[in-house]
Chain A
Amino acid sequence: MMKTSTQKTRRAFLKAGLSLATAIAATGWQRQVNSKMAEPVLGELRGRFIYDGTPPERKRLKVDKDVDCCGKYDIRDESLMVGPEQGLANVFVYVRTRGIPIPEGLADRWPKRVTLDNHECIFKPHCMAIWCPVQEYYIVNSDPIAQNVAFNPLGDLPANIILSPAPGNNTDAVWRFRRSQTEPVLIVCNYHPWESAYILPRDNPFFAISDSSGNFAIPNLPLGEWEFQIWQERVRQLDLPNAPRGRLVVQIKPGINDLGTIVVSPEHLKVVA
Chain B
Amino acid sequence: MRGYFFSSLLIAVGLLVICSCSRPPAFRLNTEGRDPGSISPTQHEALTTTLADFFGTPDQATTPRGVELNHDLLHLAAGPMGRDLERVERGLYRKHCANCHGVSGDGAGPFARLLNPYPRDFRKGVFKYTSTVMGAKPTNQDLEKIIRQGMPGTGMPSYKRLPDDDIKSLVEYVKYLSIRGETELYLVRLVLDENELLPLNRQAVLEDGVLPAAESWDLPQIEPDVWVVKPHRPDWDDQQLQAAIARGKELYREPRAQCITCHGPEGRGDGEQTDLYDIWNQAKKGITDQQTRELARHFALPIQKLRPRNFHSGIFHGGDTPEDIYLRIHIGIKGTPMPGAGPAPGIPGVLTPDEIWDLAYYVLSLAQKLPTHSAHEDSERK
Residues of A whose CB lies within 8 Å of any CB of B are: 64-65, 136, 145-146, 148, 150, 152, 154-165, 169-170, 172-176, 178-179, 182-183, 190-191, 193, 237, 245
CB pair B346–A160 under 8 Å, yes or no, is: no
Q: How far is the CA of A87 from the CA of B349 in the complex (A)?
A: 40
The stretch that binds A, out of B59-67, B95-103, B256-264, is B256-264
If A148-B337, A150-B337, A154-B189 are given as contacts, then 6 extra A-B residue pairs at C-beta distance below 8 Å, sorted by A number, are A152-B335, A159-B134, A162-B340, A173-B346, A178-B212, A191-B261
- Could you tell me if B339 and A65 are in contact, using CB atoms closer than 8 angstroms? no
Q: With both chains docked as a complex, state the minimum distance between the C-beta of B356 and any C-beta of chain A, in angstroms.
A: 12
B349, A170: Cβ atoms closer than 8 Å: yes
Asked, given contacts A162-B257, A190-B273, whether A182 binds B348 with beta carbons under 8 Å apart, the answer is no
Known A64-B272, A176-B346; contact A154-B185, beta-carbon cutoff 8 A: yes
B residues 235-267 touching A (CB-CB < 8 Å):
255-258, 261
In the complex, A163 Cα to B257 Cα: how many Å?
A: 9
**B151 smallest CB distance to A (angstroms):** 20
Residues of chain A lying within 8 A (CB to CB) of residue B359: none
What is the CB-to-nearest-CB distance from B255 to chain A, in angstroms, rounded to a whole number?
Answer: 5
Q: Is the interface of A mostly helix, strand, loop or mixed?
A: loop
Inter-chain contact B275/A163, CB cutoff 8 Å: no
State in angstroms the CA–CA spacing of A154 and B186 once bound together: 7
Give the docked Cα–Cα distance between A161 and B134 (Å): 8
Cβ contacts under 8 Å, A237 to chain B: 193
Does B279 belong to the interface (CB within 8 Å)?
Answer: yes
| Whole-angstrom CA separation of A176 from B346 in the bound complex | 8
Do A161 and B186 touch across chains, with their CB atoms under 8 A apart? Answer: no
Q: Which of B313-341 contact A (CB under 8 A)?
A: 332, 334-335, 337-341
Q: Is B136 an interface residue (CB 8 A)?
A: yes
Taken together as a complex, chains A and B put the C-alpha atoms of A169 and B213 apart, in Å, by 35
Q: B347 contacts the other chain (Cβ, under 8 Å)?
A: yes
Q: Which residue of A lies closest to B124 (CB)?
A: A152
Q: Which B residues touch A173, using CB under 8 A?
A: 346-348
Looking at the assembled complex, report how far the CB atom of B189 sits from the nearest CB atom of chain A, in whole angstroms: 6
A155, A174, A179, A193: the one contacting B346 at CB < 8 Å is: A174
CA distance A182 to B196 in the complex (A): 12
**CB-based nearest B residue for A193:** B275
Query: Considering the complex of A and B, which 8 residue pairs feature the smallest CB-CB distances, nearest first?
Result: A157-B135, A190-B337, A174-B346, A173-B347, A160-B339, A158-B135, A170-B348, A162-B339
A67 CB to closest chain B CB, in angstroms? 10
Is A162 a contact partner of B258 (Cβ separation < 8 A)? yes
Residue B112 CB within 8 A of the other chain:
no
User: What chain B residues lie within 8 Å of A169 (beta carbons)?
Assistant: 348
Measured CA separation A96–B193 after assembly (Å)? 12
Question: Which chain B residues lie closer than 8 Å to A154 at the CB level?
Answer: 185-186, 189
Report the separation of the CA atoms of residues A245 and B194 in the bound assembly, to the nearest whole angstrom: 10
A158:B257 contact, CB within 8 angstroms: no
A138 to chain B: closest residue by CB: B346
Asked if A174 and B347 make an inter-chain contact with CB atoms under 8 angstroms apart, the answer reads: yes
Out of A65, A160, A176, A245, name the residue touching B261 (CB < 8 Å).
A65
In the complex, which residues of chain A have a beta carbon less than 8 angstroms from the beta carbon of B347?
161, 173-175
Q: How far is the CA of A237 from the CA of B275 in the complex (A)?
A: 28
Max chain B C-beta neighbours (<10 A), residue from A148, A162, A169? A162
Q: List 22 A-B contacts (CB under 8 A).
A: A65-B261, A136-B346, A148-B258, A154-B189, A155-B125, A155-B185, A155-B186, A158-B126, A158-B135, A158-B279, A159-B135, A161-B134, A161-B340, A162-B340, A162-B341, A162-B349, A164-B256, A170-B256, A170-B348, A175-B346, A193-B275, A237-B193
Query: Which B residues, 174 to 195, have Cβ-Cβ distances below 8 Å to chain A?
Result: 182, 185-186, 189-190, 193-195
Interface residues of B in 334-382 (CB under 8 A from A): 334-335, 337-341, 346-350
Query: Which residues does chain B contribute within 8 Å of A148, judged by CB atoms?
Result: 258, 337, 339
**Closest chain B CB from A259 CB (angstroms):** 22
A183 to B195 CA separation, bound complex (whole angstroms): 13
A42 to B379, CA, bound (A): 65
B135 touching A170, Cβ below 8 Å: no
| Alpha-carbon separation in the docked complex, A146 to B256 (Å) | 6
Among B136, B189, B194, B335, the residue within 8 A (CB) of A157 is B136
Smallest Cβ distance from A112 to chain B, in angstroms?
14
> Which chain A residues lie closer than 8 Å to B136 at the CB level?
157
Q: How far is the CB of A270 from chain B (nearest CB, A)?
A: 11
Q: How far is the CB of A165 from chain B (nearest CB, A)?
A: 6
B189 touches A145 (CB 8 A): no
Is A162's CB under 8 angstroms from B350's CB?
yes
A199 → B minimal CB distance (Å): 15
- Contacting pair B273 A165 (CB below 8 A): no
Residues of A within 8 A of B279 (CB): 152, 158
- Bound Cα distance A165, B254 (Å): 10
